[in-house]
Structure 1
C-alpha cells in the first residue's frame, strides 16, 4: 500500500516524498539511479540527488526500484513494445506486396494451402487465415538486435523529479488539492481521490468541496469512519448511494444499487431526512433523477424507519405519490410562454442556471428592454456563479461571434463527440459584447495579484482545464483544445493494448487532410506507406500485449492536418481491455533507435472512453510551416466491429474541423486579466533564478525557485480556476 501511495504522489506532483533510510555513502548509487532515470526521460533534481547521496546505498537502491517502476509506467515503458516489421520504419513493404508475401507463405504451408486456395477460388481472402498475418514473426529480443541504438539528443524529453516532504504531508496536500478542486476531476483522479479519502477522512479538510462528485467520494469514506456527512441536497445522498454500490457518482450512467447493510441504510435515510427537514423545497430536486431514486428506495426500505418521515417523502415524490413542483418545470413554463422577464426574475434565485440560459434568453427576448434585463441580471448575480461556469459561458459567447454555418460540436462527460449544423439565430452583438466585458471584469476581480509572475511561454496556449474530463490521464497531456508546438523532424505515434479475455484487434491509423479538411491519404494496415510515413504492421490479437506504430517525416508530409486515431476492429472496448494507451514521440534527424524509445515520448495517455474510435489529438501545419498539436481527447461511436479509417474519414473530418476552428480560453487569457499595476509579468527562460517568492506558471516545475513561491504546472493547472 505504501508503494502505491508513493506512486500516486509521483504521478500527480512529480515529487518524490522525502526518502527514508539510514545515513551513509549513497552518492554512487544515487548517480546510477539518476542515469537509469535518464534512459526513460527523467532525472533527479539537484536537491533530491543531494538528499539521496546522504543515505545508505541499500536505501537508495530500495527507493530507485520503486521509483523506476512508477516512471516507467508513466511513460509507457513498463511493457515490451514489439513491431510486426522487425526493422521498422526501414524496409516497410507496399501493402499489396506484403499481402502477396503472406499468401505465398500460406500456399507453401501444407496446413493452410487448401483453405487459402478455396478462398482464392471464391475471390475473397480473409487475411486472418494467413499464418504469417497479424502475429509477430520474431521475438522482442530479435527486434532489439535488429535496431540501431538511439543517439542521445538535446531534444529528448527530460522530466525532473523534485524532493518532496514526508509521505503523510504529501498525501494530505494532494488530498486537499483534489478534494477542494473547483473543477470536476477526470475518472482516474476521482479514483485517486477515493484512495486518499479513505486515508484522510479524519484529517484536515478543504474549506469547501464545490464539486458534487468529489463530495460523494469523500462522504463514502466519512461514512466508513462514522464521521459527519457533507450533505445539502437530496442528490448528494443519491450520489453517495451510487458510490457505495460502485456506480457512477456523476449520475450519467445508471447504477445497479447493491443490497446495503442496515447501518448504511440508516446513514442514507438519516441524511435524506435531515436535508429535507431543513428545507422542504429540496424535494423538488428529486424530479431530475426520479428513476434512480425509485430504485434506491427499493433498497433502503424507508417504511421500516418511521422516525425519518422526510426521507420517505423523497421516495413518495419519486413515485409520483407526493407533489413537489420542480424549479426547472417552473422555468420551462415561463419560457414556453416567452415570458423572459418572469424567467429572469426566477432564475436570479439560481445564478448558475441563469448563466446557462443566457444564450436562449437573449435569443427569445422580444425587444431591447428584455435583453437589457437579461444582461443586468447576469451582471448582478455573477459574483455568486462558480468561476468554472463564468469561464465556460465566456468561452461560449466568444465562439458565438462566428458565422452561424460553422458546425456545432457536442462532447459528453465520457468524451463522446458528435457534430451537427448550428441553426441557432445569432446573439445580438452589442449584448454579447456587454456580457463578455462584464464577465472579464468579474474574473479580473477574482484572480490574485501575485506581485511578480514568471511565465513559461509554452503555457500560454494551454486551454483552461474547466473540467478534468477534458483531459486524459497520462504524461504530458494537455486539456482539450490546447495548442502545443511540435519541435522535431520525426513524429511517431504508438498504441499498446492487452486484451482481458477475448481476441482484440486495435488498429492504429492516421488520416491526412488537406487545408479544407478533405482527405489527402491515410496510413493504416490497408495502406502501410504514404508520402512521408510508414506503418509498423497489423497485429490482430494481444493476449500478451501488442503495439502498433506510425512514423512520419514532417518535412516530407504534404498535408495540412495529421489525425492519429485508434480504431477497434474486433473484440473488447477501451474500457474492457486490461490495458490500453496511446502516445507520440519526437526525434531529430534520421530514423534511429527502437520503435519505442521512452526518452523521446512527449505524451502518453490512457485510452478509456466510450466509443469505438479514439481521437487523441490533431497535428496542424501553420502558415509559417511549423507543426502544432491541438488536443482532442474525443471518442466517436463508430460501429460494432471492423472500424477502419477509410470508413470514418468523413465523421472524423467534421469533428476535427469543429475543434480546430473553435477558440478555447487559455492560460494566456487569465494572464492578460492578471496583468496590472500590481503585477509584473516576465517570460522566463530559467535564468536568472529570482531570490524572492514569485508565482510561476509553466508546463513543468523549474529548479531553484524560492521555497515560498506558488508554482502552477500541468499537474495542478486546475488551481488557476477561481472558485
Structure 2
C-alpha cells in the first residue's frame, strides 16, 4: 500500500516524498538512478540528487526501483511494444503487396491452403484466415535486435522529479487539493481521491467540498471511520449510496444498489431525515432522480424506522405518493408561457440555474426591457455563482458570435461527442457583449493578486480545465481545446491494448484532411503507406498486449490536418480491456531507435471512454508551415464491430471541424484579466529564477524556485479556477 501511495504522489505532483533511509555514501547509486531515469525521459532535480547522495546505497536502490516502476508506467514503457513489421518504419510494403505475400504463404501451408482456395473461388477473402496475418511473426527481442540504437537529442523530453516532503504531508496536501477542487475530477482522479480519503478522513479537511461527486467519495470514507457526513441535499445521500454500491457517483449511469448493513441503512436514513427536517423544500430535488430513489428505498426499508419520518417522505415523493412541486417545473411552466420576467424573478433564488438559462432567456425575451432584466439579474447574482459556471457561460457566449449555421458539438460527461447544426436564433450582439463584459468584471474581482508572476509561454494556449472529465489521465496531457506546439521532424502515434478475456482488435489509423476538412487520404491497416507516412501493420489480437504505430514525416505531409484515431474493430470496449493507452512521440529524422522510445514520448493518455472510436487530438499545419496540436479527448459511438477509418471519415471530419473552430478560454485569458497591460509578468526563458517568492504558471516546475512560491503546473492547473 505504501508503494501505491508513493506512486500516487509521483503521478500527481512529479515529486518524490522525502526519501527515507540511513545516512551513507549513495552518490554513485544516485547518479546511476538518474541515468536510468534519463532512458525513460525523466531526471532528478539537483536538490533530490543531493538528498539521495547522502543516503546509503541500499536506500537509494530501494527508492530507485519503486520510482522507475512508476515513471515507466506513466510514459507507457512498462509494456513491451512490438511492431508487426520488424524494422518499422523502414521497408513497410504496399498494402496489396503485403496481402498477396500473406496469401502466397497461406497457399504454401498444407493446413490453410484448401480454405484459402475456397475463399478465393468465391471472390472474398478473410484476412484473419491467413496464418501470417495479424499475429506477430517475430519476438520482441528479435525486433529490438533489428532496430538501430536511438541517438540522443537535445529535443528529447525531460521531466524533472522534485524533492517532496514526508509522505504523510504529501498525501494530506494531495487529499486537500483533490477533495476541495472547484472543478469535477476525471474518473482516475476520483479513484485516487477515494484511496486518499480512506487514509485522510480523520485528518485535516478542506474548507469546503464544492463538487458533489467529491463529497460522495469523502462521505463514504467518513462513514467507515464513524465521522459525521457532509450533507446539504437529499442528492448527497443518493450519491453516497451509489459510492457504497460501487456505482456512478455522477448519477449518469444507473447503479445497482447492494444490500446494506443495518448500521449503514440507519446512517443514510438519519442523514436524509436531517436534510429534509432542516429544509422541507429539499424534497423537490427528488424529482430529478425518482427511479434511483425508489430503488434505494427498497434497500433502506424506511418503514422500519418511524423515528425518521422526513426520510420516509423522500421515498413517498419518489413513488408519487406525496407532492413536492419541483423548482424546475415552476421555471418550466413560466418559460412555456414566455413569462421571461417571472422566470428571471424565480431563478434569482437559484443563481447557477439562472446562469445556465441565460441563452434561452435572451432568445425568447419579447423586447429590450426583458433582455435588460435578464442581464441585470445575471449581474446581480454573479457573485453567488461558482467560478467554473461563470467561466463556462463566458466561453459559451464568446462562441455565440459565430454564424448560427456552424456545426455545434455536444460532449457528455464520458467524452461521447456528436455534432448537430446550430439552429438557435442568435443572441442580440449588444446584450451578449454587455453580459461578457459583466462576466469578465466578476472574474477579475475574484482572481487573487498574485504579485510577481513567472510565466512559461507554452502554457498560454492551454484551455482552462473547467472539468476534469475534459482531460484523460496520463503524462503531458492537456485539457480539451488546448493548443500546443509540435516541434520535431518525425511524428509517431502509438496505441497499446491488452485484452481481458475476449479476442480484441484495436486499429490505429490517421485521417488526413484538407483545409476545408474534406478527406485527403488516410493511414490504416488498409492503407499501410501514404504521402509522408507508414503504418506498422495490423495486429488482430492482444492476449499478451499489442501495439500499433503510425510514423509521419511532417515535412512530407501535404494535408492541413492529421487526425489520429483508434477504432475498435472487434472485441472488448475501451472500458473492458485490461489496459489501453494512446500517445505520440516526436523525433529528429536521424534519431532512429525502436518503434517505441520512452524519452521521445510527448504525451501518453489512457483510453477509457464510452464509444467505439477514440479521437485523442488533431494536428493542424498553420499558415507559417508549423504544426500545432489541438486536444480533443473525444469518443464517437461508432458501430458494434468493424469500425474503420473509411466508414467514419465524414463523422470524424464534422467533430474535428466543430472543435477546431470553437474558441476555448485559456490560461492567457485569465492572465490578461489579472494583469491587463502591467509589467509584473516575467516570461520564463530558462534563465535562473528570481530569489524572491513568485507565482509560477507553466507546463512543468523549474528548478530553484523560492520555497514560498506558488506553483501551478499541468498537475494542479484546476487551482487557477476561482471558487
TM-score (norm 1): 1.00
- CA offset digits 1:59-116 (Å, max 9, x no partner): 0000000000000000000010000000000000000000000000000000000000
Q: Report if the CA contact (8 A) 1:17-1:170 is conserved.
A: yes
Distance 1:429 1:677 in 2: 26
Distance 2:710 2:638 in 1: 44
- CA offset digits 1:485-543 (Å, max 9, x no partner): 00000000000000000000000000000000000000000000000000000000000
Please state whether the residue corresponding to 1:419 is helix, strand or coil. strand
- CA offset digits 1:15-60 (Å, max 9, x no partner): 0000000000000000000000000000000000000000000000
1:678 deviates by: 7.9
- CA offset digits 1:580-624 (Å, max 9, x no partner): 000000001236000000000000000000000000000000011
Q: Report if the CA contact (8 A) 1:409-1:655 is conserved.
A: yes
Distance 2:644 2:677 in 1: 56
- CA offset digits 1:255-280 (Å, max 9, x no partner): 00000000110000000000000000
Q: Which residue of 1 aligns with 2:107?
A: 107
- CA offset digits 1:544-575 (Å, max 9, x no partner): 00000000000000000000000000000000
1:688 deviates by: 2.9
- CA offset digits 1:158-215 (Å, max 9, x no partner): 0000000000000000000000000000000000000000000000000010000000
Distance 1:606 1:289 in 2: 31
Q: Report if the CA contact (8 A) 2:151-2:591 is conserved.
A: no
1:300 deviates by: 0.3
Distance 1:332 1:73 in 2: 50
Distance 1:678 1:490 in 2: 40
Distance 1:683 1:506 in 2: 43
- CA offset digits 1:641-679 (Å, max 9, x no partner): 000000000000000000000000000000000105887
Distance 1:164 1:265 in 2: 41
Q: Report if the CA contact (8 A) 2:152-2:591 is conserved.
A: no
Structure 1 residues 663 and 639: CA distance shift in structure 2, 3 A: same
Please state whether the residue corresponding to 1:110 is helix, strand or coil. coil
Q: Report if the CA contact (8 A) 1:89-1:591 is conserved.
A: no
Q: Report if the CA contact (8 A) 1:181-1:210 is conserved.
A: yes
Range moving further from structure 2, 121-130 or 685-694 = 685-694
- CA offset digits 1:411-453 (Å, max 9, x no partner): 0000000000000000000000000000000000000111100
**In the alignment, structure 1 residue 238 sits paired with structure 2 residue 241:** no
Q: Unaligned regions of 5+ residues in structure 1, if any?
A: none
1:682 deviates by: 1.2
Distance 1:497 1:240 in 2: 33
Q: Report if the CA contact (8 A) 1:449-1:679 is conserved.
A: no
1:687 deviates by: 1.3
Structure 1 residues 95 and 304: CA distance shift in structure 2, 3 A: same
Distance 1:369 1:676 in 2: 33
1:684 deviates by: 1.4
Q: Report if the CA contact (8 A) 2:151-2:590 is conserved.
A: no
1:686 deviates by: 2.4
Q: Which residue of 2 aligns with 1:491?
A: 491
- Where do residues 370-519 of structure 1 align in structure 2 (5 Å cutoff)? 370-519=370-519
Give the alignment's Cα RMSD to 1 decimal.
0.7
Distance 1:710 1:43 in 2: 22
Distance 1:79 1:489 in 2: 25
Please state whether the residue corresponding to 1:604 is helix, strand or coil. strand
- CA offset digits 1:318-342 (Å, max 9, x no partner): 0000000000000000000000000
- CA offset digits 1:334-363 (Å, max 9, x no partner): 000000000000000000000000000000
Distance 1:368 1:121 in 2: 75
Please state whether the residue corresponding to 1:427 is helix, strand or coil. coil
Distance 2:647 2:511 in 1: 11
- CA offset digits 1:281-322 (Å, max 9, x no partner): 000000000000000000000000000000000000000000
TM-score (norm 2): 1.00
Structure 1 residues 188 and 271: CA distance shift in structure 2, 3 A: same
Distance 1:621 1:208 in 2: 44
- CA offset digits 1:135-170 (Å, max 9, x no partner): 000000000000000000000000000000000000
Q: Report if the CA contact (8 A) 1:134-1:541 is conserved.
A: yes
Structure 1 segments (4+ residues) deviating >6 Å:
none
Q: Which residue of 2 aligns with 1:268?
A: 268
Distance 2:689 2:175 in 1: 30
Range moving further from structure 2, 168-177 or 681-690 = 681-690
Q: Report if the CA contact (8 A) 1:400-1:427 is conserved.
A: yes
Q: Report if the CA contact (8 A) 1:451-1:678 is conserved.
A: no
Q: Report if the CA contact (8 A) 1:409-1:658 is conserved.
A: yes
Q: Report if the CA contact (8 A) 1:451-1:679 is conserved.
A: no
Distance 2:122 2:591 in 1: 42
Distance 2:676 2:422 in 1: 38
Structure 1 residues 677 and 519: CA distance shift in structure 2, 3 A: closer
Distance 2:398 2:618 in 1: 23
